[in-house]
Amino acid sequence: MKTHHCLIAALAALGLQTGAARAQPAIGGADPDIKPAAAGITTDIGFDQNLGAQVPTGLPFRDEAGRDVRLADYLGRRPAVLVLGYYRCPLLCNQVLNGLTRTLRAIPQAAGADFDVVAVSIDPKERPELAGAKKASYLEEYGRGSPDGWHFLVGDEGPIGELARAVGFRYKYNAGSGLYAHAAGFVVLTPDGRVARYFYGIDYPPKELSAAISGASRGGIGSPIRSLLLLCYDYDSATGKYTLSIVRISRVLGTATALSLGLYVFLMLRRERRGGPAARKVAAPAP
């Protein structure tokens, strides 16, 4: 039986020549907790930083009302916050939209006036009705700006894949679970549809997003970011094995935490010993 989970992979998104934030396999021998078939998955999932790339604005989609639209309908006048995911995602996609909505409530710019939010489902089976329900939910949560500034789209596999490739969003469908493995985050687009900035994870600093929207409105392209990449993956409870080769990374994180705690205890003990009898005398209550 498979269940859907999320795991923080300690992967620095440096974005050097490739500008990539991708899941890297750990160095070393084979790990018994990792399925052999999962070896190739790490190259299929990620969020590459294609800064300055032009998004194909003529791609056809359908909005939450079932109308035929194109990305160009939401660009040209102001920047756009583009979110890729899928609406029936059991965990991570909701967390991305929840975190984005919280941050948007905290910035001075308003959706519909200063920028647009464009969510695009990567699942070609999803329909406008589901997109409409998601839009209504997040409009209520946002509670400000114009409802015309939020757009939840669905589409066919071809346009979805072309858009995802343009912004570096790499995902993989798991036929066994019927779910998608993907990264968490979103991009900010300039009014003419160029990739201006990436945000990873599910928590976004309001000042950074506000600055990114302001910069994108002037056509500015940001710098590659260094951040942790959050991945959705599948777990097979029948075999107890993860389907992404990032188990060892979590072990490294756990070891680092233990070492940090041990170092802290060591320093505190050494400080106490250095104080010696004099320190104990000072601490003793007066007779």
The 10s digit of each residue's pLDDT in 197-240 is 999 988 999 999 999 999 999 999 998 877 555 555 443 434 43
Q: Kindly give the pairing relationship between strand 68-70 and strand 179-181.
A: unpaired
Q: For residue 182, say whether it is annotated as part of any ligand binding site.
A: yes
In the predicted model, what is the mean pLDDT of the chain? 76
**209 or 33, which is more confident:** 209
Cα–Cα distance list, 33 to 208, 234, 236, 252, 263 (Å): 38, 13, 11, 15, 29
Q: For residue 89, say whether it is annotated as part of any ligand binding site.
A: yes
Q: What local confidence, expressed as pLDDT, does residue 270 receive? A: 63
pLDDT for residue 244 is more than 60:
no
Q: For residue 232, say whether it is annotated as part of any ligand binding site.
A: no
Query: What radius of gyration, in Å, describes the C-alpha atoms of the chain?
Result: 23
State the Cα–Cα distance between residues 137 and 123, nearest whole angstrom: 19
Helices 128-142, 92-105: axis angle to 10 degrees equals 40
Q: What local confidence, expressed as pLDDT, does residue 174 receive? A: 87
Neighbouring CB atoms inside 10 A of 257's CB total 10
Mean pLDDT confidence for 84-113:
93
Q: Kindly give the pairing relationship between strand 185-189 and strand 80-85.
A: antiparallel
Identify any residues that bridge with 119 across adjacent strands, giving them in sequence order: 83, 152
CATH number of 2-244: 3.40.30.10
